[in-house]
Amino acid sequence: MKINKLILFGFFITPYSDASTTMGKLPVNDGWHSPQQIFSQHQKTSTNAYRIPAITATTQGTVIAVSDARADGTSDIGLNKDVHFGYRISTDGGNTWSHEQEIIPDIKGKHQISDPAIVHNTDTGSTFLFGFYNDRFITAKPVSNNSDFLCLNPMTEEKPGVRE
């Protein structure tokens, strides 16, 4: 299969601020040094699964965990009917977690998102979440061509636009 388009999905998360918690003052039981199960397979349906987790901590001490949330097993985009991001937030260093929230960039269409990467900019306090956004399975076979590149910003556009 030849890759026709490479799509970069960027999602900006508004910083969460909790003045009572900072990275330097986390409790001794900080959540980093004990096993945690943040996402649990078969929690929603008999076939749901999670893959490719990513995690970051903000300068305010908030921990954000994100993962592929796959509705029908562990198969990839194009082979699974629903692949999107699920995320959970902890404001106490990982001791407790929020209920899972979902990021579904194309509810009415067939595009899906996977492979999260999350980064926090300590200078600005902004947190960015990136992922692979496509509608078909991508093979691991390298191709050389002049692909178009698309950029999606869900804060300003409903559909991706061509970036020249």
CA end-to-end span of the chain: 24
Where does the pLDDT of residue 19 fall: very low under 50, low under 70, confident under 90, or very high at 90 and above? very low
Paired tokens of 45: 């349906």
Pick from 14-23, 25-34, 94-103 the range whose average pLDDT is largest. Answer: 94-103
What domains does the chain contain, in order, with CATH numbers?
5-20+38-162 (2.120.10.10)
C-alpha closest to that of 105 among 120, 97, 119, 116: 116
- Average pLDDT across the chain, whole number: 67
Q: Give pLDDT, residue 86.
A: 87
Q: Give me the DSSP letters along 86-117.
A: EEEEESSTTSS-PPPEEE-TTSSSS-EEEEEE
Distance CA 31, CA 138 (A): 36
Q: Give pLDDT, residue 55.
A: 92
